[in-house]
């Protein structure tokens, strides 16, 4: 294993999968380091390089509005009946979640305020 100084002096932008895997290994080995230590400085630098690589190569698209609602339901342990206040009725919740009826702007506003789902996600922007 390289020394901390060797790691720090050899840091450069990640160009491929092998370098990416190597940097992830470095992060794993330093993750429990002490604050304000030389190890933490290296961890921060490596993390910045990994984040940059991941941003370019592992773009994660936002879920579509219906999937976002279903994800939030699962996260919060909500049932369809719990969403009636945002949709107008329990039957309307089922219609929207089954993609038989589109979300209205009023529904989107209520869902955004009540469930904290991004307006951009609800508008599918």
CA distances from 9 to 15, 38, 45 (A): 17, 13, 11
* Same domain membership, residue 89 and residue 49: no
Q: What's the mean per-residue pLDDT of the chain?
A: 90
Rounded average pLDDT over 17-29: 92
Given pLDDT bands bounded at 50, 70 and 90, which one contains residue 71?
A: very high
* Same domain membership, residue 84 and residue 40: no
* Same domain membership, residue 53 and residue 9: yes
Given pLDDT bands bounded at 50, 70 and 90, which one contains residue 5?
A: confident
- Cα separation of 115 and 59, whole Å? 25
User: CB 73: neighbour CB atoms within 10 A?
Assistant: 17
Q: What is the pLDDT of residues 32-63, one digit of tens each?
A: 888 888 889 989 999 999 999 988 888 777 78
Q: Between the CA atoms of 110, 114, 115 and 116, what dihedral angle is there, to the nearest 10 degrees?
A: 90
* Same domain membership, residue 116 and residue 70: yes
Given pLDDT bands bounded at 50, 70 and 90, which one contains residue 82?
A: very high
DSSP track, 64-80:
PHHHHHHHHHHHHT--G
User: What is the biggest distance separating any 2 CA atoms in the chain, rounded to whole angstroms?
Assistant: 63
Rounded average pLDDT over 64-71: 94
In terms of residue numbers, what domain contains 91?
Answer: 65-122
- Cα separation of 44 and 30, whole Å? 10
Q: Is the pLDDT of residue 94 over 70?
A: yes
Task: Count up the domains in the chain and report the number.
Answer: 2
Rounded average pLDDT over 72-94: 95
**H-helix or E-strand containing 116?**
none
Tokens (6 digits) for 107: 């529904």
Q: At what angle do helices 65-76 and 105-115 cross, to 10 degrees?
A: 30
Rounded average pLDDT over 81-104: 95
- Cα separation of 10 and 34, whole Å? 22
């Amino acid at each position: 294993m390289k020394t901390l100084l060797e790691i720090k002096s050899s840091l450069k932008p990640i160009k491929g999968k092998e370098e990416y895997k190597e940097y992830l290994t470095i992060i794993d080995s330093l993750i429990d380091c002490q604050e304000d230590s030389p190890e933490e400085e290296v961890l921060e630098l490596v993390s910045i390089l990994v984040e940059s690589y991941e941003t370019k190569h592992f773009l994660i698209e936002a879920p579509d509005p219906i999937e976002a609602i279903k994800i939030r339901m699962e996260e919060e342990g909500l049932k369809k009946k719990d969403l009636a206040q945002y949709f107008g009725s329990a039957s309307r919740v089922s219609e929207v979640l089954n993609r038989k009826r589109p979300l209205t702007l009023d529904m989107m506003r209520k869902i955004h305020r009540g469930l904290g789902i991004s307006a951009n996600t609800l508008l599918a922007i």
